[in-house]
């Protein structure tokens, strides 16, 4: 593969953190007061008397649980009302959106009426941060909302651990509204189940008789047997490969790629897809904890490279990027084989070029997924925000190591 456009920045004095300690870089928060909330709730139309009563119930719960920091999206209805109440009490609002903002506004804000739009922008503009689970378009996939929920929850828990405080879920619910999407993987009740399955507490707030006459934009159905799944993604390549002599390429295939093949084989069906070209490998893994184990095992197996496979005067070895997100799975129309593809796959491919030889870098969303999976077998060192090659933006990255 091509050599990277740049190297990652050196960050002096970074601190190694276990997954239970991975947080923002604001060390002063350890003495901060107030708790952290991740919020969700039903969408509804604006301006009713029932909404005013709901806002009061939200205020009461924010006071009762001393909420100082909130994480969540800004859909019409409960999300925006909670965000407004957080801001009115001087709390920190962190907005977490599932996909491109223009699509989110069309799908989840304007569906409740034009009155929500200025309120959306007011909350967004006052927020301390705005994060995107993925910057891609909305493709009519509930996995995009489910992924965003997991991401927001992970960020909330990470922040609460830094502040040494509680993390709770605030959920505005109604017995008369549908609580799940048509697929059952998104929606308020799905969000509540995910949080509670982790042994965490949900504060339920009655929605009341808020009006719900939502009008969603029409979306073209995805056909051809293609579907979306949330998976862990690994990309790795061998720096220095282009300088290995022709006579040594069989050794590279047998030794380096042979060791990689054994690691992937040892994890069996957890590896749902694998591919290789030249010195590069690409794998899709079913769960974050297994992806972390595979990435670290690959580096351990390749720690001792035969001298002949290290070109004279060159730095040689594997560099690995790991990510977690929604991707397409379907049929490769050329080969007829199953194939996993999409923007999050491409994003992962941009991470390994900025990873140092012998290292594993992962994204913030992968770290959050590990936390929500309650995996403690690794630790992280922040390398800060890194600009990815080929105009793939700037992302927060962490060096992944054994715990």
DSSP at 224: T
Rounded to whole angstroms, how far apart are CA atoms 187 and 173?
10
Which strand (E) or helix (H) includes residue 395? strand 394-402
- Same domain for 307 and 176, yes or no, is no
Q: What is the mean pLDDT of residues 119-141?
A: 92
Asked which of 141, 173, 206 is the last residue of a domain, the reply is 206
Checking if the pLDDT of 220 tops 80, the result is no
Position 211 in a domain: no
CB 94 within 8 A of CB 70: yes
State the burial class of residue 59 (Cβ atoms within 10 Å of its Cβ: 0-12, 13-18, 19+): middle
Position 244 in a domain: yes
This prediction's pTM: 0.81
pLDDT for the residue numbered 242: 77
Position 11 in a domain: no
CB 154 within 8 A of CB 371: yes
Position 23 in a domain: no
Average pLDDT, the chain: 87
Checking if the pLDDT of 93 tops 70, the result is yes
- Same domain for 101 and 245, yes or no, is no
Q: 309-315 contacts: CB < 8 A, separation 24 or more?
A: 309/244, 309/248, 309/251, 309/252, 309/255, 309/256, 310/240, 311/240, 311/243, 311/244, 311/245, 314/240, 314/243, 315/239, 315/240, 315/357
E strands of 100-182, at which residues? 129-132, 167-173
Q: Which two tokens stand for residue 234?
A: 């690994």
| Span 45-84, pLDDT tens digits | 999 999 999 999 999 999 999 999 999 999 999 999 999 9
- Same domain for 383 and 261, yes or no, is yes
Position 240 in a domain: yes
- Same domain for 159 and 243, yes or no, is no
Which of 27-31, 71-75, 117-121, 256-260 has the lowest average pLDDT? 27-31
| Span 316-360, pLDDT tens digits | 688 999 999 999 999 998 999 999 999 999 999 999 899 998 899
Rounded to whole angstroms, how far apart are CA atoms 264 and 298?
9
- Same domain for 195 and 317, yes or no, is no
Q: What CATH number is associated with residue 285? A: 3.30.70.1230
- Same domain for 96 and 171, yes or no, is yes
Q: 132 forms bridges with which residues in the sheet?
A: 97
Position 176 in a domain: yes
| Span 286-300, pLDDT tens digits | 999 999 999 999 999
Asked which of 206, 235, 265 is the last residue of a domain, the reply is 206
Q: Which two tokens stand for residue 351?
A: 């991470």
- Same domain for 244 and 388, yes or no, is yes
Position 214 in a domain: no
Q: What CATH number is associated with residue 160? A: 3.40.50.450
Rounded to whole angstroms, how far apart are CA atoms 65 and 190?
23
- Same domain for 78 and 189, yes or no, is yes
Domain of residue 113 covers 32-206
- Same domain for 161 and 57, yes or no, is yes
- Same domain for 243 and 371, yes or no, is yes
Asked which of 206, 240, 268 is the last residue of a domain, the reply is 206
- The domain tally of the chain equals 2
pLDDT for the residue numbered 68: 97
Angle of helix 364-372 versus helix 142-163 axis, rounded to 10 = 80
Position 304 in a domain: yes
- Same domain for 245 and 337, yes or no, is yes
- Same domain for 181 and 247, yes or no, is no
Tell the residue number behind the tokens 């006459």, with chain if given.
213
Residue 14 sits at φ, ψ, to 5 deg, of -70, 155
Angle of helix 258-266 versus helix 288-301 axis, rounded to 10 = 150
């Amino acid at each position: 593969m091509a050599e990277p456009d740049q190297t990652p920045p050196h960050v002096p004095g970074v601190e190694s953190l276990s997954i239970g300690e991975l947080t923002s870089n604001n060390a002063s928060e350890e003495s901060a007061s107030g708790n952290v909330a991740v919020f969700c709730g039903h969408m509804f139309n604006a301006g009713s008397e029932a909404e005013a009563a709901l806002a009061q119930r939200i205020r009461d719960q924010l006071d009762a649980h001393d909420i100082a920091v909130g994480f969540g999206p800004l859909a019409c209805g409960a999300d925006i009302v909670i965000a407004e109440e957080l801001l009115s009490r001087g709390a920190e609002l962190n907005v977490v959106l599932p996909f491109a903002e223009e699509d989110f506004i069309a799908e989840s804000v304007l569906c409740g009426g034009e009155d929500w739009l200025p309120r959306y922008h007011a909350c967004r503009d006052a927020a301390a941060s705005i994060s995107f689970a993925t910057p891609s378009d909305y493709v009519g996939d509930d996995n995009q909302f489910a992924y965003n929920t997991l991401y927001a929850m992970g960020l909330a828990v990470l922040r609460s651990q830094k502040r040494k405080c509680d993390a709770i879920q605030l959920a505005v619910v109604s017995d008369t509204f549908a609580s799940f999407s048509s697929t059952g993987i998104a929606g308020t009740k799905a969000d509540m189940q995910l949080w509670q399955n982790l042994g965490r507490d949900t504060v339920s707030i009655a929605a009341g008789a808020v009006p719900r006459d939502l009008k969603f934009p029409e979306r073209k159905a995805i056909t051809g047997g293609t579907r979306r799944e949330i998976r862990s993604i690994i990309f790795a390549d061998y720096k220095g490969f282009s300088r290995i002599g022709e006579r040594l390429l069989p050794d590279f295939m047998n030794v380096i790629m042979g060791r990689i093949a054994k690691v992937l084989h040892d994890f069996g069906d957890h590896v749902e897809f694998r591919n290789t070209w030249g010195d590069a490998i690409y794998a899709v893994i079913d769960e974050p904890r297994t992806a972390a184990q595979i990435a670290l095992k690959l580096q351990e197996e390749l720690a001792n490279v035969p001298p002949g496979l290290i070109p004279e005067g060159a730095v040689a070895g594997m560099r690995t990027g790991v990510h977690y997100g929604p991707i397409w799975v379907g049929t490769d129309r050329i080969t007829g084989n199953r194939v996993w593809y999409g923007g999050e796959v491409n994003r992962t491919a941009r991470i390994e070029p900025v990873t140092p030889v012998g290292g594993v870098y992962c994204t913030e969303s992968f770290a959050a997924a590990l936390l929500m999976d309650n995996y403690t077998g690794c630790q992280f060192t922040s390398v800060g925000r890194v600009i990815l090659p080929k105009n793939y933006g700037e992302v927060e990255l962490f060096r992944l190591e054994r715990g």
